[in-house]
Structure 1
Amino acid sequence: MLLRRLRPSLAAVRYFSTEAARTADLASSEATVTRTGGRDTLGRRLLSLAYAKRSAVVAIHKWKEEGHAVRKYELNRIVRELRKLKRYKHALEICEWMTSQEDVQLLPGDYAVHLDLIAKVRGLTSAEKFFEDLPDKMKGQPTCTSLLHTYVQHKESSKAEDLMEEMSERGFLKYPLPYNHMLSLYISNGQLKKVPEVIRELKKNTSPDVVTYNLWLTMCASQNDVEAAEKIFLELKKAKIEPDWVTYSTLTSMYVKSSLNEKASSTLKEMEKRASRKVRVAYSSLVSLHTNLGNKDEVYRLWKKMKAIFRKMNDAEYTCMISSLVKLKEFEEAEKLYTEWESVSGTGDCRVPNLLLASYINKNQMEMAEDFYNRMRQRGINPSYTTWELLTWGYLKQKKIEKVLDCFKKAVGSVKKWNPDDRMVREVFKFLEEHGNIEGAEQLLVTLRKAGHVNTEVYNMLLRTYAKAGKMPLIVAERMKKDKVQFNEETQDLLKLTCKMLVSEVSSCLS
């Protein structure tokens, strides 16, 4: 099913949707401004700098020129809000301004935040340089942990391990956060054998927290080891640590996957008890998990509950609900909900319509898919790589090769760097070969060359198309040499075969 190809974009919705969290935080910030009665504050001015090119420092200077005081605690609060909203550039500008003020007393925790922002805005190398240049008294537990977090985010296992050793020598591993960072790193890298050792070391120096147990459960989930997960959950309860919604979400996912529906229903009830306005994203996870259990009524109930709790649904929540309705084969309701999203959202996020586009293509309703695509464009929604990818597959099923090649070309051209979809390339070439369509094969080669994806297999597929058409391609060896592509045994056999055929003029005019 083509909808499965959308899973990477939906994974965050189903579990820890950062987009949902971001929008919830934005709503929270708006509520804060409203509660102040709309009065002019430095926080309001800085949070209103919607465009990255606008300067936070200029806004602070103007505030001071107007005779207002600038307090450190207020700036720290604003930085926290900006980080929640992923407005890292403006948050960094505020931190840098504070660093330049002699009357602002900065603590290691302030520099830890500063380091994290540098990593996000300017990259790892700049963050390392910032850490090296810090005074020794500021290279304490907070800044070391911040640098460790940066290494984990960049999947720098070796550097993270070296830093952990140094932190151990300096007595900085007396709380679980650094260990949790390492657990996160090893789980994301698939280095699961290292997880038990990290947990043993953690228990020697401190006590696990709920995040530790959640990460441990995540490892069990990746191995689908229900028995181990239940033992870990019992240990968590014995340690008198209160499980959170993530704990129960992870357990439920495992139970659903293992068809342990009774247990899944039980953990879902516990999970819902822990969902609240503060952890808004938990509701999207609940919707997805009930969908996986086929609990249609529960999905509708939760959506109604969410609408009663929150002023406005965000894109991630609409994405989650539409995806669930499609999965439950509630297509009419999914279409109605999409129409509602069109009327209330001004983001133009194409990930939402892509769900319905995929649904139409999955059901071989290509006419409806085309009409829906036109509707997207009329609404000012710009197609993404996924949009073009879906249309490519749809037209391929219909054997409309000109449209296949056009959509494939647009898909590749819609991204700065294309991650080659070898299956799609093979399927398109297979169709071209079956029909001896050498013009189409040459067009496809040109698209792949522009994307930096020509290799021996691609040229062999091209040569097989020529062989099927009974034609000899021109200057293939020279073109392969120019593209720095190696011959293999199949290439040699195909060249021998096609050299006995009639010369084709196609390759000379397309290459």
Structure 2
Amino acid sequence: MNKLIAIFSGIQPKKPTLYSRISPLGSPSINLVPVLDKWVEEGNKVHVADLQIILKDLRKHRRFLSPLSICFTLQISEWMNTTQICTFSSSNHAVQLDLIGRVRGLESAESYFNSLSDKDKSEKTYGALLNCYVKERLTDKSLSHMQKMKEMGMVSTSLGYSDLMGLYINTGEYEKVPGLLNEMKENGVSPDNFSYRMCIYSYGKRSCIDEMEKVLEEMENQSHISMDWNTHTTMAHIYIKAGLTDKAFATSKKSEEKLTKKDGVGYNYLISLFASLGNKTEVARLWGLKKTACKKIMNMDYIAMLGSLVKLQELDDAEKLLKEWESSGNHYDFRVPNVLLIAYTKRGCTEKAEAMLEDLINNGKVPNPNSWGIMAAGYVEKDEMEKALGCMRKAFSVNKSDGGWKPNSTVISSLLHWLGDTCEVKDVEDFVRSLKDLIPINKDVYYALIKANVREGKDVDGILESMKANKIDLDEENGKVLSLKEEGAEYIAAT
């Protein structure tokens, strides 16, 4: 009907685009291939440039839904390759290999790499596979693969070395990072900002301030290096942890000098740094500069500023800023008010947090599972376990299987112990059932089930067998399970 009205009124209906077909799809489980195939079957042309724009937009506007963005990007990339809409270069293969590793795991990435022709096994595809090994923290495989790349003359840039630096940082082997920087220089590979910054970070983690400063000095004297704000903020964080507040302040100022006017992320880092230094004046000044320089203040900007005000214990100002955000017209993202929820609950003000959440609900807002998880943590801290359980049940009810939410392990452990000690078997089983797919089954789950069943005089052999099948051993803390079983048997016999 709307189409007919548009025709008779002389207004031509807007022609659908490929992006308009893709953008409403909101789950990583959705298969884009039929959508793309149908678009072609309808006689529409597909240009590589259009697909590249779509991929760029997905990365830009879905940056907080990375699993969705990655899955869609991989599907589009594979469709382009399969339909041969364009000839895949080694760079295209490297991107696809990385996406496969992220979505389907290491074995699939290795299989894809092995299927490539020799000409496509370039430094970029070898580097993409190295990155997959590094992400899995597979030290032996990473080093072996890097050695093979060296032997084949495929380490002409700093990227491979930076990957290994990242590996050592993630595995806590900070002392090995500077050696890689030296090896790069010996092999004629120029370090970039990222590799220098990781070396600085590794020295900072070991509290080697003098060595860290020497690396910075070397970095500043390199003609090919354009110093950015990131390096100075890294230094400032290290100075703060070392208690060198004067150096932290001076370095933060240097970072601001390197900041481009419209760099919202940079402003956020600096605001957080000055909040850590307890400097409210600098925080307010930078927030004002940011609002002037940036065209729009995004939700993540409000989150950063709220977190800084909370760090400064300026809750009144934080509440005012929340009101400002609510009237900003930004998409409603519960991670923004969650900053205040966390602040209230950590200070024991659960009633105030609950009132705030109820007010939001009354205004038609639907809290995310993390909001209820925050409330549950606050009630656990105050030993109000029934209220904590109620909040966690609400979190389960609003959680989506593809939402990526994981409940706080300490809260879950506390609730399981309380349930096992005080509640009926049915309550424990319902709670455990809700945890399915959210946390790995562990000893706390079994311990709660056993305790509840023993209190009700029920047999626990089946639970113990399941525990054994899942290779969960009885440790010192949980060794009471056997005695509980015996006590349960004695109880049953006596009754």
Is 1:124–1:150's contact at 8 Å kept on the other side of the alignment? yes
| More off after superposition, 150-159 vs 367-376 | 150-159
> CA 1:114–1:371 in structure 2 vs 1: closer, same or farther (change >3 Å)?
same
Per-residue deviation, residues 273-308 of structure 1 (Å, max 9, x unmatched): 222256431111001001001111111111111111
2:23 corresponds to which letter in structure 1? Answer: A
Find out whether 1:264 has 2:264 as its counterpart: no
Residue 484 of structure 1 aligns to a residue whose secondary structure is helix
CA contact (8 A) 1:361 1:394 kept: yes
The 5 A counterparts of 1:72-111 are: 72=48, 76=52, 79-85=55-61, 87-100=69-82, 104-111=86-93
Indicate the structure whose relative CO is greater, using CA pairs within 8 Å and at least 6 residues apart: 1
User: 1:460/1:97 Cα in 2 relative to 1: closer, same or farther (>3 Å)?
Assistant: closer
2:314 is matched with: 330
Which of residues 321, 329, 343 is equivalent to 1:359?
343
Q: Does the CA-based 8 Å contact 2:181-2:196 persist in structure 1?
A: no
How far did residue 95 of structure 1 move?
A: 3.4
Deviation at 1:321, TM superposition (A): 0.5
Q: CA deviation at 1:220?
A: 2.4
**1:92·1:117 contact (CA, 8 Å) conserved in 2?**
yes
Match of residue 234 from structure 1: 217
Equivalent-residue separation in structure 2 for 1:105 and 1:501 (angstroms): 74
Deviation at 1:251, TM superposition (A): 0.4
User: For the aligned residues, what is the CA RMSD?
Assistant: 3.9
1:429: Cα distance to partner?
7.0
Rate the CA distance shift 1:430–1:120 in 2: closer, same or farther, 3 A.
closer
> Of 252, 276, 281, which residue of structure 1 is paired with 2:260?
276
Larger mean CA deviation between 314-323 and 398-407 belongs to 398-407
* Contact 1:393/1:404, CA 8 A, preserved across alignment: yes
Of 473-482 and 440-449, the range deviating more from structure 2: 440-449
In the alignment, which residue of structure 2 is the partner of 1:371? Answer: 355
The worse-fitting range, judged by mean Cα deviation, of 311-320 and 338-347 is 338-347
Report the CA distance between 1:252 and its aligned residue. Answer: 0.4
1:181-200 map, 5 Å = 181-200=163-182
TM-score, normalization: structure 2? 0.77
Contact kept? 1:245, 1:275, Cα under 8 Å: yes
Counterpart-to-counterpart distance in 1, 2:258 and 2:428:
52
- 2:429 and 2:449 in contact (8 A); partners too: no
Separation of aligned partners in 1, 2:335 and 2:388: 21
**1:158 and 2:145 matched:** no
Counterpart-to-counterpart distance in 1, 2:366 and 2:494: 39
Partners of 2:150 and 2:307 in 1: how far apart?
Answer: 46
Matching of residue 312 in structure 1 with residue 267 in structure 2: no
**How far apart are residue 172 of structure 1 and its match?**
0.7
2:278 partner SS: coil
- Structure 2 equivalent of residue 424 of structure 1: 411
8 A Cα contact 2:458 2:488, kept in partner:
no
Cα distance in 2 for residues equivalent to 1:103 and 1:444? 55
**Residue 207 of structure 1: aligned partner:** 190
- Answer yes or no: is 1:343 the counterpart of 2:327: yes
TM-score of the two chains, using structure 1 as the length reference: 0.75
| Cα separation, 2, equivalents of 1:457 and 1:166 | 46
Give the letter for the 2:443 counterpart.
N
Pairs within 5 Å for 1:477-488: 477-478=460-461, 480-484=463-467
Distance 1:231 1:105, change over 3 A: same
**2:447 corresponding residue in structure 1:** 459
Counterparts in 2 of 1:176 and 1:397: CA distance versus 1, 3 Å: closer
Pair 430,140 (structure 1): closer, same or farther in 2 beyond 3 Å: closer
Q: In the alignment, does 2:198 pair up with 1:250?
A: no
Note if contact 1:184-1:215 (Cα within 8 Å) is conserved in structure 2.
yes
CA deviation profile, 1:206-244 (whole Å, cap 9, x unmatched): 121111111112222333332221121122123343321
- Residues 1:383 and 2:370 aligned together: no
The question of whether the paired residues in 1 share the 8 Å contact of 2:450 and 2:463 is answered with no
Aligned length: 454
TM-aligned CA deviation for residue 204 of structure 1: 2.3
AA in 1 matched with 2:159: L
CA distance in 1, matches of 2:157, 2:430: 56
Aligned to 2:273: 289
2:291 aligned counterpart, secondary structure: helix
Residues 186 and 399 from structure 1, CA distance in 2 versus in 1: closer, same or farther, beyond 3 angstroms? closer
Amino acid of the structure 1 residue aligned with 2:24: Y
Secondary structure of 2:190 counterpart: coil
Deviates more, 1:481-490 or 1:195-204: 481-490
Q: 1:15 is matched with which residue?
A: none
In 2, distance between residues paired with 1:504 and 1:367? 47
Deviation at 1:266, TM superposition (A): 1.2
Structure 1 residue 132 and structure 2 residue 114: aligned? yes
Mapped partners of 2:494, 2:268: distance in 1: 57
Secondary structure of the structure 2 residue equivalent to 1:344: coil
Give the 3 Å change call, closer, same or farther, for CA 41–394 of structure 1 in structure 2: same
Q: Distance in 1 between matches of 2:461 and 2:98?
A: 50
Q: How far did residue 326 of structure 1 move? A: 1.4
Q: Percent identity?
A: 29
Structure 1 position 497, deviation (Å): 7.2
Alignment partner for residue 384 of structure 2, among 400, 408, 425? 400
Task: Tell me how far 1:254 sits from its aligned partner.
Answer: 1.0
| AA of the residue aligned to 1:238 | N
Residue 204 of structure 2, aligned match among 211, 215, 221: 221
Unaligned runs of 5+ in 1: 1-39, 506-511
Counterpart amino acid of residue 234 in structure 1: E
